[in-house]
Amino acid sequence: MTITLEPLIAHRGAAPYAPENTFASFEKARELGARSIEFDVMMSADGELFVFHDANLKRTSNGCGEFGDSSSEYIASLDAGSWFSQQFRGEKIPTLKETLRWFAHHSMHANIELKPLPGRIDDTTTAVLSCINQCWSSDAPLPLLSSFNEQALLLCSRLLPELPLGLLLLNWKNDWLSRLQNVNGVSLHLPKHVVNKERIQMVKNEGYALCVYTVNSKKWARRFWEWGADAIISDYPDLMVN
């Protein structure tokens, strides 16, 4: 399986301009010209899927405690905007179902980062796949699902083999190819500080897409593209517009 990625993927929406992983941030990214958005998915204590990044609620909401220990009712009640600016007071933490419907309505490409908590890999993964099956438009290309968790990716490849998968790495790994092959991935996602022209060409020569995160400099974005990167993930979609 191969995949064609949008050259720019907006990181959690347009995070410098609106609270990350909210509809306000997604709308801002779209307004700034992004056609693809990366967002994170986690599961509440009672099994609801929400678009959220941190293990703890404190940084990006007015809640407290661990996300995985919190009920869906509590998470849905939180203000996810005031921490950023009073302009966004009352912004909610979206569910995955709501988010997939928003993407379908706007014909946007999605990069879903799956973030299963310890001990909940199978539950979170199967729930995300079920939600994609229920809520994603059959007329649209499937979203790209990426994760640092290789067990989750392997389960995805077994349960929904047509879903394109991306392997996220924190550092360069010499065994990247066997890891990617093991999970039946289509793309390798690397942090900008480990990416160079030779490594991009190495990945491309093996037939995989290469995505670089998180690139907030137009100069470096252009350089990565010139070297052959398929996509960059950026906090600043407006800085990437030619």
Catalytic machinery residues: 11, 53
How many residues comprise the chain? 242
Residue with tokens 């007015």: 62
Determine the distance from the C-alpha atom of residue 210 to the mean position of all C-alpha atoms in its chain, rounded to a whole number: 15
Residue 213's contacts (CB-CB under 8 Å, 6 or more residues apart) are 11, 189, 190, 191, 192, 232, 233
CA angle 118, 1, 185 (to 5 degrees): 25
Cα–Cα distance between 146 and 139 in angstroms, integer? 21
CA angle 107, 113, 115 (to 5 degrees): 145
159, burial (CB in 10 Å: exposed 0-12, middle 13-18, buried 19+): middle
